[in-house]
Structure formats: C-alpha cells, structure tokens
Structure 1
Amino acid sequence: MSEKVVLHYFDGRGKMESIRWLLAVAGVEFEEVFLTKREHYEKLVNEGALMFQQVPMVEIDGMKLVQSRAILNYIAGKYNLYGKDLKERALIDMYAEGIGDLTDLISMYFLSPPENKQKSLSNIEEKAKERFLPVFEKGLANSHFLVGNQLTRADVHLLEASLMLQELFPTILSTFPKVQAFQERMKALPKISKFLQPGSARKPPPDEALIKVAKEVLSHAFK
C-alpha cells in the first residue's frame, strides 16, 4: 500500500484548495494529478475511483476519498486538527460550514458572467462584513484560536478565506482587528509561511482558461 498522498483535480483552487491548505498545515507532502482533458476524468470514472462521479478525489491511506467535506474531516482527524472532543468538533464544523458558505460566494463570483460581476462583488462584501466577519471577530475575542486552545481546521479555513477576501477587497479587515491579528499570527507559522511562498502548491485565483478546462472536463455538470 502506497503511503503517497495524491490529489486528483484541476490545476486551480476550487474544492481542492482547502484540502491543499490542510495537508500543508499538517506537514503532509502530496502529489497532484491535474485533469486537463475529458478522457482523464472518464478514466477515473471507469476505474470506479469516483464514488459519485465527482472530483476532488484524494488517494490517502489506501483509499480513494471523494466529497470534499469527508476528505477534510478525515485529514483533520488524522492530523489532530479536529479539536479534543465532540463538543469542540461540533463548533469546528459550524465554523467550517460557515466559512465554506463564504468561499462558495467568492468562487461563484469567478463563474458569473461579466454583466453580473459587480453585483456579485457587492453581495460578497456585504455578507462578509455583516454576516461572516463579525462571527469570527467574536470567536477570536478571548483566544488565539476559533475553538479550544490549539490550532484546528477551522483556523486554517478562516485564514484561507480571509486571504481570498483581501484579494477582492484589500482593506476589508480594517474594522476587524481580531481577525487581522489572527491572520498575522497564522501567516507566521512555519508550515503556513512556506505554503504562502511562490512555488508552493497554493493556487492563484481562477482565470478564464482554467474555467474553460473545467467546463470541458466536467461537461455533464454544466449542462
């Protein structure tokens, strides 16, 4: 059984980016197989590697894991990023689901047609400032971490999401000092600092070329 962790997805963010982040913070080295043609995807389906005919897919510990939440839960549990008990895990899950809602909004911006982009941007900014960031600011009021007294997947997801927000709105954290301070602490951690350096597996925001490839590979999902 191979110990190598292999990620199967596009050469872009999407649903795999949070998985890359979590593996990097856990100190796990991984390889990536990028889907660039429809045949690559069909081969995985025909091999029975995709339970629901969807990617991302991660080969780890002799398994072919699909469904991004299941993958993230497994990695977090395996590498002690999932709290100390069930109560902490429930809080982590709530934060993770909320952060996922926020990052989904951001992802949809890149998929929206040009005439809808400004409206999408305004929607993201409004919801970030009124619904999401106040929750994280409150959660960090008396602790360096969102849950408990150690780093968890919730913290990793928040860092990723806050950096994505700043790509669209550079000053958006100016009225959220706790989140700002949290971000600086997280960026100083050696494994995170390494992942933020040029040449790492971290992906840039999606562009039209990547979106075109994804639509061609997963043509069934866009019909």
Structure 2
Amino acid sequence: MSGYVITYFPVRGRAEAMRLLLADQGAEWKEEVVSFQKWFAGEVDLKKTAVFGQLPQFKDGDFVLYQSNTILRYLGRKYDLYGSNIKESALIDMLNDGVEDLRQKYSGVVFYKREPGPEKYIEELSNHLGPFERLLSQNSKGSGFIAGNKISYADYSLLDVLQNHQHLASDCLKSFPFLSAYVEKMTSRPKLKTYLESDARKNCPIVPKDFK
C-alpha cells in the first residue's frame, strides 16, 4: 500500500477531487473522519496543529500536506498528470484556478447562503460553464480533456464541481454537449467508475446531513 491517508469531514467537499484522482490511478488510501461538531467545538487536537487550521490533511507516509489544490498538484506530479513541460503545467494550473473560481461561486450559494441564491445562480450558470464548454470544444473537437488530449489533475477537480452542480440542478448540462460528453467519458473510466459506484462514495454526501 502507498500509505496515503486523507483526514477530512464526513462529506465529499474539498477532499473529493483527490479521491477521484487516487481511485482513477488505482491507488489505495485510508480515510480518517473528523466530525463537524467536534472540529468546531475545538475538541480535535489536529485543528491546533494543522498549518492553517483547516482540512483536508493528506499524508503520504511521513509527508504531510494541507490545502486541497496543493495536494492535487502534488499528486499530479507524482502520477504524471501535470503536463509534459512548463507551459503545459502552467495551462493546467490556470484551468484548475478557473475550476476553483467556479467552486467558490457554488459553495457561496450552497453552503454559505450568499446571494444571488440557488434559483438565480442556476439561471446564470450558463455564463459560468461557457468557458469550460469552449475549452473542451477546442480539444480534438471535444474528445480531449480540459487541458489537451491527456488527462490532468485539473480534470478530477472539474468533474467533482460538475457533479456537484448536477446534484443542484440535474439538467444543468443539457445545453452543453461537450461538458455532458466529458462527464460521461470521465465517469466511464473503469477504475473511476468502480469508485463512483462504491458504497464509500454513495455514503459520502455533498452536503452534511444536518446542514441547515
């Protein structure tokens, strides 16, 4: 075994993209789950030692990392998911930053109840998804990945965010044929498909069960 350990809350959240990556690459990992109640009550020692007082925490043996996108970049380098040269790496980083912007918009509405609210957000979603649709259309007429013809760490982040949006509005990709095909292609990858159909995935919600 690799000795990977993901420490996070009992939700998909910011740990899910790294889970998707690891599953697709055939890696195994252990989950250490921290309850929201104990974390926010200050009853978890890790909160005091975490570099920025945040989760997820990722361990590769004795090597410890925080910050979800840093962890994704680390795994991207480790599994050759970071392009073949400095320019490709920069492009992948740029696109992942774009995904992060979309994740922040989604999180603001779903988790933090910020304006414009779910209904208005869904109405305006085409403006946010349009750039990703155009990028995919330019990559081998839609048959490639988000940053060319080779999968990168940013693809797992994009897939996670798109699936979150599908949970919010099941038909949100209806007018985006390239994004729809992309999700189908990603979720059909054998190892990734196995993970997505696993009990571990199904029993890990997007939103906490007691979330108000």
Trace 1:133-212 onto structure 2 (pairs within 5 A): 133-139=133-139, 141=141, 143-201=143-201, 203-207=204-208, 209=210, 211=211
Q: What aligned pairs does 1:38-53 form with structure 2 within 5 A after superposition?
A: 38=39, 42-46=44-48, 48=49, 50-53=50-53
RMSD across aligned C-alpha pairs, in angstroms? 2.7
| Structure having greater relative contact order (Cα 8 Å, sep ≥ 6) | 1
The DSSP-based 3-state class of the residue aligned with 2:30 is strand
CA deviations 1:120-175 (Å, max 9, x no partner) are: 4444x243344543344444636422224322112222222222222222222232
| Length-normalised TM-score, structure 1 | 0.79
Q: Which residue of 2 aligns with 1:57?
A: 57
Residues 160, 45 of structure 1: alpha-carbon distance in 2 compared, 3 angstrom cutoff: closer
C-alpha displacement of 1:197: 0.2
Given the two structures, how large is their TM-score scaled by the length of structure 2? 0.83
CA distance in 2, matches of 1:171, 1:117: 14
Q: Kindly indicate whether the alpha-carbon contact (under 8 Å) linking 2:136 and 2:144 is maintained by their aligned counterparts in 1.
A: no
Code of the residue aligned with 1:83 in structure 2: it is G
Q: What secondary structure sits across from 2:59 in the alignment? A: strand
CA distance in 2, matches of 1:151, 1:12: 25
CA distance in 2, matches of 1:100, 1:114: 17
Structure 1 residue ranges without an equivalent (≥5): 213-223
In 2: Cα distance, 1:126 partner to 1:174 partner:
10
1:3 CA displacement: 4.1
Q: Which residue is equivalent to 2:19?
A: 20
Q: For residues 184 and 47 of structure 2, what CA distance do their matches in structure 1 show?
A: 42
Unaligned runs of 5+ in 2: none
Identity across matched positions, percent = 31
Report SS of the residue matched to 2:109. Answer: helix
Task: Quote the Cα distance in structure 2 between the aligned partners of 1:79 and 1:13.
Answer: 22
Match of 2:88 in 1: 88
Q: Once the 2 structures are TM-superposed, how far is the Cα of residue 31 of structure 1 from its aligned partner?
A: 1.1
Q: Check the 8 A contact 1:81/1:151 in 2, yes or no.
A: yes
| Residues 121 and 93 of structure 1, relative CA distance in 2, 3 Å threshold | same
More helix by share: 1
Distance 1:206 1:34 in 2: 15
- Count of matched residue positions in the alignment of Structure 1 and Structure 2: 207
